[in-house]
Structure 1
Amino acid sequence: MTRMTRGKLDLDPATVKQARALARKAGRPIVTMAKKHTTVAVERATLRLAGLEGADAEGTPWVNRLMDVVRADTGLEHGVALPVWDALVRGEADDLSTLAQKASAGSVTFRLPEGKDAERARKASRTQVGRGIKRIDARRVERDRLIKRFGDAPRKPWIYLIVATGDIHEDIPQAQQAAREGADIIAVIRSTGQSLLDYVPEGATREGFAGTYATQENFRLMRAALDESSKELGRYVRLTNYASGLCMPEIAALAGLERLDMMLNDSMYGILFRDINPIRTFVDQRFSRQVHARAGIIINTGEDNYLTTADAVDAAHTVTTSQLLNEYFAKEAGLEDWQLGLGHAFEIDPEVPDSFRLELAHAMLARDLFPNAPLKWMPPTRHMTGDVFRGYLLDGFFNLVGALTGQGILLVGMMTEAVVTPWLSDRDLALQNVRYVMNAAGNLHQDFRPEPDGFIANRARQVLGESIDLMGQILDHEHGLLDAIADGTFGLMKRPQDAGRGLDGVAKKSSAYYNPASELLEEK
């Protein structure tokens, strides 16, 4: 439970409590709906947790091949576990890999077992999937041990820096050098369009578009490289990737298995900005967040994206609303406050009068609403013009907001951001900017307190009030949040629940449905 506090803005605790109650009321039907459905990605994630890896000669993962055959034979609504482990118990194959290959060749027919056969399949699947969950548990313990051994970042906020060459073997030396220059978190940006692939590529990849493919082998290689850097530098260097898109649950499982530390994982990003079906997204995100909770992974949400399409002043309350919803969905799935890297962005047009005061008001509102969360602020992009001097100054203002509000995770802004792909020299200058502001400001957030009835405090209260009004409007819809999303409430994107990519990969669970991964994660 988030501790109630008036904070520096002296927010009315009753108003804050009302906001959370409305978010809970709006989110609860979504959770109920998610529990009643499954998706092909949830079922494939279950197979991955059971140890199924690899791909056929065409590069199609065996989890996809096996899932497709099971679905054709028995349907998606019963889940993959009972048909698959029934086949294994019956001796159709010695292991999952062989079974997938035989199924792909058309030499296995699956059935939905009943009675004692179903019980045997249920027990066998729980045992094998349980080994994958135990591996995730072991990787979490390993992280804690390495942090104790190497030491942690000596100060907050953690400095978050991106690499994105498209080639994992080029990413690695860049990531290691970024760590030497002061980065605490390395984010490997995912190749453009991967979120729309309904499979996870296999192996180490050498080609990507504005990023590098998220694969299990790429995760393993980068994690090993950053462990070397952690030993060299005497502090644990964290690794981030993206659990979003059509394979969100699978990528979350792979992240847990390979000891990633943070994952971008927003409840509505895929719906709004990738036109992925809302039901598919909410089902997948709940499972993925249960995995993240178990793995001790910090999630980063994507509210910053709303401000790339909507005005950052007029739409400020939609960000607060999304943060409150993300908090509810995350905690319902088992995540704790320290794992909630809730998002925002420094995207107000600098020509707007008092733009810095407005940015500070929004940042302080998030800090006071979520006092125990490691908030992640995003640097300016929308109003970067190519004037590198102006951009460098804007990034300095952004860094100062982070210092004034005690942000937990600070993504390093580049003065050439959103204009050209930044050079290594741009990164070095950007890190100098961060170091200067953070060193000069010190613990300024301990001293800074706005006037109780001044511009900043009043603006924060206004945004919170508008967020409460918006959630009331959401609840006035017949189907609540799903209708609000369809109406374009967030980011001006209209996404109906009966459309969007991935809808054909969703099914309502039957009375015979069983998933050992969900069962084990729910128990925890």
Structure 2
Amino acid sequence: MNAAPAATRGTTPPPVRATAPARTAPRPSLLGLDPATVATARALAARAAQPVIDLATAHTTVSVERATLRLAGLTGADTTHRAGDVPWVNRVVDTVAEHCGLQHGVSLPVFHALREHDLATLTDLAEATAAGQIRYTLPTGAARRRAERAARTAVARGIRTIDRNRAQRDRLVARLGDPPQRPWIYLIVATGDIDEDVVQAQNAARAGADVIAVIRSTGQSLLDYVPEGATHHGFAGTYATQENFRIMRAALDEVSREVGRYVRLTNYASGLCMPEIAVLAGLQRLDMMLNDSMYGILFRDINPVRTFVDQRFSRQVHARAGIIINTGEDNYLTTDDAVSAAHTVTVSQLLNECFAHEAGLADWQLGLGHAFEINPDLPDSFRLELAHALLARELFPHAPLKWMPPTKHMTGDVFRGYLLNGFFNLAGALTGQGILLVGMMTEAVVTPFLSDRDLALANVRYVLGAAGNLAEDFRPAPDGFIATRARHVLDQAVRLLERIVDDGLLTAIATGTFGLMKRPPDGGKGADGVIAKAEDYLNPAASLLEEHAAREEPRP
């Protein structure tokens, strides 16, 4: 991507040197993993990822360009449109695409038009655009340099807001404190009404939840725009909007002061608007975001190239904002067998790590996903779960792994479900997981009641209170069932990575390697929103984020 001219680099906000969570010393290996095999797996993952990284850096998307305008300060929507409200960023980007294309980026035509028409704000420009008063063109010469400087200055202001929010989070954590132990207890609220979500979230924090995740309304990932304002009508979730983010963050700050620990907020940077939602999360001080490199491709049928371009930009934003990402490998085990496909989870974790590092994320920001989804009727199912969880823990010793509860084999028998969740919580304690999603005994059967959440939190509190430090005493036999199984899964992962290196990751996705979902590289939703970059493509947001990543302390 194009770097900014030296004359404009004074507008770059300094990178934040916020304090990351303290690293714990790596635990001694309990599985006897061969260091050479681990190194080979990482090297193969890097080789498999590189062609996709090259593809991502050679393209932009309509959502990346809209996210850039959001960083530059463009908010709000055209409320006069006959088909409903249209966000101003959509109106402007679509018009630029129509007039002169997006291969050069949206910034140059927009900031050139702002000066040419002597308009004070981007909102003024958007309103004039909707009225048909603007004809966008690509500036050249001195006009291009002026537009570039103006764009960089405006985007830098947005990034400084993200920097201030990251520093504010650190101050609050220092003053209020973190939860007293790991794993962090992660609980979902999802009423559809942001005001009701606030009530549930605050009560959950009082009952012991450390992380509140607000589930998005069904289908929002397939909307190619971000709704505006507070919402009260979601379906099986609440719409992710900037105002909803602000409301929930304020509510959790309030209850954080009450309970004496910083309560973190999670939402979803995925779908067709992944980059925009990442920006909004940074602007409103969210702490975690679900952000997987392949989930949208596999489970929402979003175009693969669109997804890889968008996830790279969104992760650059998360890196700058100090946000922890949660990846979605757990989903593979709901559509494929959790035993025979265990190695695909490991491969995806290694790929997610590689993509995340390339985008500037540090190990402490990698909430890599895995799940407790083996059929409980299978002999030795719990031992298999321990093997897979320990393998993830040892492969990624500094990552706050996100451990997902049973869903696939929940039957509606609430007593059996409560027991399964107890086993899940015990596995999390035994294997040193970082983020433990609270399992409900009614999970995947009906929408849990508040009472279900309260009982689920009681289950977690009991297990962690009684066995939270049991990992200190847990030592599987060096050549026993658990260690042997873990080494076998790693060997399978290496063999699969070798095939992916030979065939290509896009081919692997197209042939159903992950979660049995087959997604061709030229198919899926949003393909028409992918644009190959011209040689003189300019995106000041990408340039500033990459400069920041280059200045960050080197990863251990």
TM over 0.5: yes
Aligned residue number for residue 77 of structure 2: 55
Supply the distance in 2 between the matched residues of 1:326 and 1:442 (Cα, whole angstroms): 28
Tell me, what secondary structure is at the counterpart of 1:38?
A: strand
TM-score normalised by L of structure 2: 0.93
1:228 and 1:150 map into 2 onto residues whose CA distance is: 11
**Aligned position for 1:484:** 508
CA–CA distance in 2 between the matches of 1:205 and 1:429?
Answer: 29
Conserved 8 A contact 1:27-1:328: yes
Residues 5 and 13 of structure 1 are in contact (CA less than 8 Å); yes or no, is this contact kept in structure 2?
A: no
Helix, strand or coil at the partner of 2:185: strand
Distance in 1, Cα, partners of 2:141 & 2:33: 58
* Mapped partners of 1:294, 1:78: distance in 2: 24
Report the CA distance shift for 1:421/1:135 in structure 2 as closer, same or farther (over 3 A): same
Helix, strand or coil at the partner of 2:42: helix
Partner in structure 1 of residue 16 of structure 2:
none
Q: How does 1:246-257 map to 2 (within 5 A)?
A: 246-257=272-283
Matches within 5 A, 1:318-333: 318-333=344-359
Secondary structure of the equivalent of 2:454?
A: helix
Alignment-derived partner of residue 387 in structure 2: 361
Residue 45 of structure 1 corresponds to: 67
- RMSD (CA atoms): 1.2
Match of 1:282 among 308, 319, 326: 308
Structure 2 residue aligned with 1:498:
522
Q: How far is the alpha carbon of 1:307 from its aligned partner?
A: 0.5
Q: Which residue of the partner structure matches residue 313 of structure 1? A: 339
Alpha-carbon offset, residue 149 of structure 1: 1.4
> Cα–Cα, structure 1 residues 176 and 2, in superposed 2: closer, same or farther, change >3 Å?
closer
Q: Give the corresponding residue for 1:102.
A: 128
**Structure 2: where are the runs of 5+ without partners?**
1-22, 549-556
1:29 matched to 2:51:
yes
Which letter does structure 1 place at the counterpart of 2:61? Answer: T
Shift of 1:110: 0.5
Is the 2:202–2:252 Cα contact (8 Å) retained in structure 1? yes
Aligned residues: 522
The 5 A counterparts of 1:236-315 are 236-315=262-341
The aligned amino acid for 1:332 is E
The match for 1:87 among 113, 128, 133 is 113
Match in the other structure for 2:41: 19
Note the C-alpha offset of 1:78: 1.0
- What is the match of residue 157 of structure 2? 131
SS across alignment from 1:209: coil
Q: TM-score, normalised by structure 1?
A: 0.98
Distance 1:356 1:486, change over 3 A: same
1:242–1:265 contact (8 Å) kept in structure 2: yes
Q: Could you tell me which amino acid in structure 2 is paired with residue 263 of structure 1?
A: M
Partners in 1 of 2:272 and 2:107 — Cα distance?
A: 20
State the match for 2:192 in structure 1. Answer: 166
Structure 2 match to 1:519: 543
Whole-angstrom CA distance in 1 between matches of 2:145 and 2:257: 48
Identify unmatched segments of 5+ residues in structure 1: none
Among 221, 224, 230, the residue aligned to 2:250: 224
Counterpart Cα distance in 2 of 1:372 and 1:122: 40
What letter is aligned with 2:546? E
| 8 Å CA contact retained: 1:23, 1:324 | yes
Q: Which amino acid in the other structure matches residue 453 of structure 1? A: D
Segments ≥4 residues shifted beyond 6 Å? 1-6
| C-alpha distance in 2 between matches for 1:12 and 1:106 | 65
| Pairing 1:510–2:534 present | yes
Q: 1:91 Cα deviation (Å)?
A: 3.0
What SS class does the counterpart of residue 86 from structure 2 fall into? coil
Contact kept, 8 Å, 1:2 with 1:337, in 2: the verdict is no
Displacement after TM superposition at 1:56 (Å): 1.1
Q: Please say if 1:408 is aligned against 2:434.
A: yes
Q: CA deviation at 1:63?
A: 0.3
Whichever residue aligns with residue 491 of structure 1, its letter is G
Please give the secondary structure, in 2, of the residue aligned with 1:263. Answer: strand
Identity level (%) = 73
User: Which string of whole-angstrom CA distances, capped at 9 and with x for unpartnered residues, describes residues 420-460 of structure 1?
Assistant: 11111111111111011101103111111111100000000
How far 1:89 moved relative to its partner? 2.0
